[in-house]
Chains A and B, each alone.
Chain A
Amino acid sequence: MRKGLLYLLLCVSGITVFFPILYAFSVSFMTSEDILRRSLVPTNPTLQNYVDVFASVPIGHYLLNSFIVATITTFGMLCVSALAAFVFAFVPFKGRGGVFILVISTLLIPWEATMIPNFLTIQSLGWMNHYLALTVPFFALAFGIFLLRQHFKTVPQELYEAAQVEGLSTFQILYKVVIPYAKTSFVTLGIFGFLTTWNMYLWPLLVTTNDSVRTVQIGLRRLQADEVATNWGMVMAGVVLVILPTLILLMVGQKQLQKGLTKGAIK
């Protein structure tokens, strides 16, 4: 009885939550007649929308740009955060607590509050329409430093001391002992970083003005703005191409992400 009710609730909620995504997939295979008739499923499934989307915008190029940007940002974020987190977990010095609070205080600065001067900085550095503008500003991340520090602190003191006795340098300890030990937190932060960078919208809109480094999210907006009255099937094919990589990443890494984020959110 209780079980049945639960399954009913789960199914209804699942369909409600997942409907927009399923529907986007469905529409992407529809002919324009199906779309006009407001069908739920394509009566005559076609791949034409996908052919059209590749023909009308350089979507492959946008996808590649997004991959490059998301990969570089994730890697940069992991490196910069790991170095800082190592200090906050293992290297005691006077005033460390204060410095750590300074890092955490950046969480109170909404990124949007800095976007105007950042835009001007990027302009004066000559980074407009360059991968640098899309990646470097996001390397330092208080959340990343915090998350890794929480995990680094779980490294057993004996392991750390043994590494010191072995005569490993500090940097060797970081990448031969600490990083392998806290590997899960790196995977979590990596998935999180990739998802957020891939999905970034406002910043790429500001700092890219042509197709050379434009990311797929901005390409999607362009596609929608150009095509809105004419071809929804093609727009949805574009949407599907954009969400597929992150949905797959999420499905593969969901357990991992949940474990890691929970540990970061709740002490």
Chain B
Amino acid sequence: MADAIKKHGVKTSISRWERSKNYRIAIIYLLPSFLLFGLFMFYPMINSLFLSFFFTDAQGEATTFVGFENYTYLFQSDSFRQSVKATLLFVLYTVPTSVIVSLFLALIANEKLRGIGFFRTVFASTLGMSVAASAIIWLFMFHPTAGILNAFLTAINLPAVSWLQDSTMALISVALTTVWMNSGFAFLILLGGLQNIDDHLYESARIDGASYFYQLRKITVPMLSPTLFFIMTITFINSFQSFGQVDILTGGGPAEATNLIIYSIYREAFVYYQFGPASAQVIVLFIAVLVLTLLQFKFGERKVHYQ
């Protein structure tokens, strides 16, 4: 009897312990992630918002509360307006081009041919290239006198281009470098998407005598749309975050033509030590990316065909 009670008692305490077991495991296993997310993601996000309402000293300590003054300062500043303009143009140059180029590469690399693996590796190779290394190579190729691009243009009797010195061309040159750098990742993902499309669809289309471009329009693009959508969103976010290529190729110049938003934030905060206005730019950037991403999901999603 005593034994039974004891057993019973033990059993209930075990079962309560047992019942909370999942919670305990979850807390312990999720702790590292959430500590890190908290310290390096959620807290800084709130802190950016906080800093954007203050003047700060050179150590980044908030000194005076100024309300929206940093924001009004931003919107009146020519430099910031220029940076918004440059960023939007840059997105316009890079996103469609990246998607089209990598889709083209993925389409031709998806054919079953001898030696195709070699071409796939070549097309994916820019994924292994760092921003610094890529930008330096292109810097050399863009060089007005030593650069191979102008040598090539001269060889085919075209006038030399001042790639990085002219304010219109500079942004295009940075965009060109960025498209090249993006192409590896986008290619790999799109190729994966293409390989997931069921072969039977093409077989029956071929039996019906559909042309390559008809198949492309009616089968490939619709079936690939979730992947295309994913790539568009990623490329879009990436171009908002371009920094290294600007830093190495142009340093934001000439005449701030390539002063993209991240570069502008970097300069404001870590060159001029204006953490308040820099944080206000961060918040504007965050809201812009968030709104545009949500819009893309809202409108992009409708056109997307899921299997």
Contacts and interface: CB of A to CB of B under 8 A. Distances in A.
Interface of A: 3, 6-7, 9-10, 13-14, 17-18, 20-21, 23-24, 27, 35-36, 38, 40, 79-81, 83-84, 86-87, 91-93, 96, 99, 103, 106, 108-121, 123, 136-137, 139-140, 145, 170, 195, 198-199, 201-202, 205-206, 217-218, 220-221, 224, 232, 235-236, 239, 242-243, 246-247, 249-251, 254, 257-259, 261-262, 265-266
B159 to A, nearest CB: 17
A83 B30 contact: yes
Interface of B: 22-23, 25-26, 29-30, 32-37, 39-45, 47-48, 51, 59-60, 104-105, 108-109, 111, 113, 116, 119-134, 136-141, 146-148, 151, 180, 183, 188-189, 191-193, 195-196, 226-227, 230, 237, 240-241, 243-244, 247-248, 262, 265-266, 269-270, 275, 278-279, 282-283, 285-286, 289-290, 293
Contacts of B108: 6, 9-10, 13
A18 B37 CA distance: 38
B29 A136 contact: no
Contacts of A18: 122, 125
Given A13-B105, A140-B32, A265-B192, A20 B141 contact: yes
A84 B22 contact: no
Contact of B146 (A35, A139, A217): A35
Nearest to B212: A2
Nearest to A116: B269
B40 A121 contact: yes
A172 B283 CA distance: 44
13 contacts: A10-B116, A112-B243, A114-B41, A137-B36, A198-B130, A199-B132, A217-B130, A217-B132, A218-B132, A224-B248, A243-B129, A254-B124, A258-B192
Nearest to B290: A108
Given A80-B36, A103-B37, A232 B140 contact: yes
Contacts of A13: 104-105, 108, 119, 123
A87 B136 contact: no
B192 A21 contact: no
Contacts of B130: 198-199, 201, 217, 242-243, 246
Contact of B45 (A99, A109, A224, A242): A109
A247 B128 contact: yes
Nearest to A7: B113
B44 A261 contact: no
A140 B40 contact: yes
Given A13-B104, A14-B122, A266 B230 contact: yes
A259 B192 contact: yes
Contacts of B146: 35-36, 38, 232
Given A108-B290, A251-B121, A265 B230 contact: yes
Given A121-B44, A123-B60, A139-B32, 9 more contacts: A6-B113, A83-B30, A110-B237, A117-B47, A123-B59, A201-B243, A202-B266, A220-B133, A221-B136
Given A110-B240, A114-B48, A120-B60, A17 B226 contact: no
A214 to B, nearest CB: 12
Interchain residue pairs A-B with the least CB separation, the first 4: A262-B192, A117-B44, A140-B36, A199-B130
B237 to A, nearest CB: 7
Contacts of B270: 119, 206
B40 A262 contact: no
Contacts of A83: 29-30, 32-33
A91 B22 contact: yes
Nearest to B231: A265
Given A7-B113, A258-B192, A262-B196, A220 B25 contact: no
B163 to A, nearest CB: 14
Contacts of A136: 36
A6 B104 CA distance: 12
Contacts of A123: 59-60
Contacts of B121: 250-251, 254
A266 B128 contact: no
Contacts of B183: 17
Nearest to A142: B37
B209 to A, nearest CB: 15
Contacts of A170: 25
Contacts of B227: 265-266
A110 B241 contact: yes
B137 A202 contact: no
A117 B275 CA distance: 9
Contact of B289 (A20, A110, A251): A110
Given A84-B29, A112-B262, A266-B193, A17 B128 contact: no
Given A17-B183, A83-B33, A87-B30, A221 B141 contact: no
A201 B286 contact: no
Nearest to B154: A38
A116 B278 contact: yes
A265 B66 CA distance: 43
A116 B132 contact: no
A259 B188 CA distance: 9
Contacts of A116: 44, 48, 51, 60, 265, 269, 275, 278-279, 282
A3 B112 CA distance: 10
